Amino acid sequence: MSLNDGQRDLLGEGGFETLCAHYAEHRLMHGGAVAPPLYQTSTFVFPDAEAFERRDLPQNPYFQYSRKANPTTRTLEAKLAKLERGNWARAFSSGMGAITCAINALTEAGTHVVAVANAYHPTRRYLEEYLKRFNISVTFVSGTRTEDFIAAMRDDTRVLYLESPTTGYFEVLDVPGLSAAARERGVRTVFDNSWASPYFQQPLEHGCDIVVHSATKYISGHSDVVAGMVVGRDAELGERIAREGELLGASIDPFAAWLLLRGIRTLSVRMERHQENGLAVARLLAEDERVAVVHHPGLDGVEQHELAARQMSGYASLFSFALKDQSREATHRFLDRLKLFGIGVSWGGFESLAIGGLLFNRDDTRGQWLIRLSVGLETRDDLVADVRQALEG
Ligand SMILES: Cc1ncc(COP(=O)(O)O)c(C=O)c1O
């Protein structure tokens, strides 16, 4: 049986890279095309009126409308579900589309959410400002102590919302411990795995119920798509997410899904190189006397490095650091001297990016001027030389 055979795809054999290359692709159904077809269509037609009447039955073989489902998107969803060790996945038009849909599907008026304080800012704003309108309250927990998260859970808590490493300071949480504590209390854990990607971390294996992604980052890897994913195991939850996703309408465009499928082919090799380049730059900074602190969970000697190594098989290349000279001018000077790093938001792409600011989260009282680097896939020596010369300025 050849790898092109759809039956082989369905078996889901092989390691991570093999799954990236072949899983859920039905090549012989498409003239043997190695790249999956792009179904760039909004709607689909039925062979007759009876088939149309049966469109919502589970055995209906026809697609209806691309906000609901699309063959290209289905291939992406099947592949990502497999890579995250889930049973289903749903693709969205942005990470925020995925995150808000997952939270909405798990909450209702009068319920409560516990969330990590250093979450991605728009996620935090959604939890803090938007959910209030629906009488859903949120407790934010600063720091990494599992007991603080447990203490924040109440009888009406429905969701524990986590990121690890966290946004800004890249702190690592005890994911298996937290998700087990939540499960005991009937609370569902939603985990943003954009940083590690499924290549370095699989939160469903650590007991989380739902994984969300900004697929805009490493999954895409080429800074040409904005997209999101929700992945899980529980079938009823999967149906709820699909229903809410269809109503809220943040569905992915088929071309964006096709670009993500292309990005996934090289996810493992990109992540390996991101890890090497990121650690090389982080080590240079950690050894430099002008640097006060480097927040990178992969550095030896960094608090929580052991915990990080236990639950992740490697490290992405987004991290932050603070200069000893805590003036706005010194931070701006460093950023402005960089030549290979563009000054810009987002991360996880092939290109290196940098931003700087006083605080990454208002709960944090450290008040540091932090610089965040997203280390790309350029030649490692060039990246290290660029950061060195920027420090020298
Ligand atoms: C950790 C994290 N989660 C989610 C998002 C949101 O994703 P998107 O921009 O694709 O909506 C981002 C975006 O930067 C992020 O950094």
If you take atom 14 of ligand 1, which residue's CA is the nearest one? 346
How many whole angstroms separate alpha carbon 384 and alpha carbon 280?
A: 7
Q: Which residues contact 280 (CB under 8 A, 6 or more apart)?
A: 380, 383, 384
253 within ligand 1 shell (Cβ under 6 A): no
25 within ligand 1 shell (Cβ under 6 A): no
Beta bridge partners of 293: 322
How close is the Cα of 95 to the center of ligand 1, in Å?
Answer: 5
Angle between helices 328-337 and 380-392 (to 10 degrees): 140
Which residue segments constitute the domains of the chain, with CATH numbers given? Answer: 35-265 (3.40.640.10), 267-392 (3.90.1150.10)
Measured from the Cα of 226, ligand 1's closest atom is 10
214 within ligand 1 shell (Cβ under 6 A): yes
Collapsing DSSP to helix, strand or coil, 81 comes out as helix
pLDDT for the residue 363: 63
Q: Which residues contact 7 (CB under 8 A, 6 or more apart)?
A: 1
Q: Which residues contact 349 (CB under 8 A, 6 or more apart)?
A: 217, 220, 221, 222, 223, 374, 376
193 within ligand 1 shell (Cβ under 6 A): no
228 within ligand 1 shell (Cβ under 6 A): yes
pLDDT for the residue 1: 38
94 within ligand 1 shell (Cβ under 6 A): yes
pLDDT for the residue 3: 43
84 within ligand 1 shell (Cβ under 6 A): no
How close is the Cα of 312 to the center of ligand 1, in Å?
Answer: 20
Q: Lay out the sheet containing 342-343: strands in order across.
A: 291-295, 318-323, 370-374, 353-357, 342-343
Burial 72-99 (b: 16+ CB within 10 A, else e): bbbbbbbbbbbbbebebbbbbbbbbbbb
pLDDT by 10s per residue, the chain, length 393: 344 444 454 446 789 999 999 999 989 999 999 999 999 999 999 999 999 999 999 899 999 999 999 999 999 999 999 999 999 999 999 999 999 999 999 999 999 999 999 999 999 999 999 999 999 999 999 999 999 999 999 999 999 999 999 999 999 999 999 999 999 999 999 999 999 999 999 999 999 999 999 999 999 999 999 999 999 999 999 999 999 999 999 999 999 999 999 999 999 999 999 999 999 999 999 999 999 999 999 998 777 889 999 999 999 999 999 999 999 999 999 999 999 999 999 999 999 999 998 866 656 666 789 999 999 999 999 999 999 999 998
Pocket test for ligand 1, best of 92, 210, 217, 317 (most atoms within 8 A of CB): 217
36 within ligand 1 shell (Cβ under 6 A): no
Indicate the pairing of strand 291-295 with strand 112-116: unpaired
If you take atom 1 of ligand 1, which residue's CA is the nearest one? 120
How many whole angstroms separate alpha carbon 85 and alpha carbon 316?
A: 20
- DSSP annotation of 127: I
Beta bridge partners of 318: 374
How many whole angstroms separate alpha carbon 119 and alpha carbon 37?
A: 37
How many whole angstroms separate alpha carbon 75 and alpha carbon 24?
A: 6
How close is the Cα of 290 to the center of ligand 1, in Å?
Answer: 31
Q: Which residues contact 167 (CB under 8 A, 6 or more apart)?
A: 118, 119, 120, 121, 360, 361
How many whole angstroms separate alpha carbon 307 and alpha carbon 318?
A: 18
164 within ligand 1 shell (Cβ under 6 A): no
If you take atom 7 of ligand 1, which residue's CA is the nearest one? 95
How close is the Cα of 224 to the center of ligand 1, in Å?
Answer: 14
Tell if the pTM clears 0.75, that is, is over it. Answer: yes
How many whole angstroms separate alpha carbon 387 and alpha carbon 353?
A: 12
96 within ligand 1 shell (Cβ under 6 A): yes
The angle at the Cα of 120, spanning 116 to 222, to the nearest 5 degrees, equals: 135
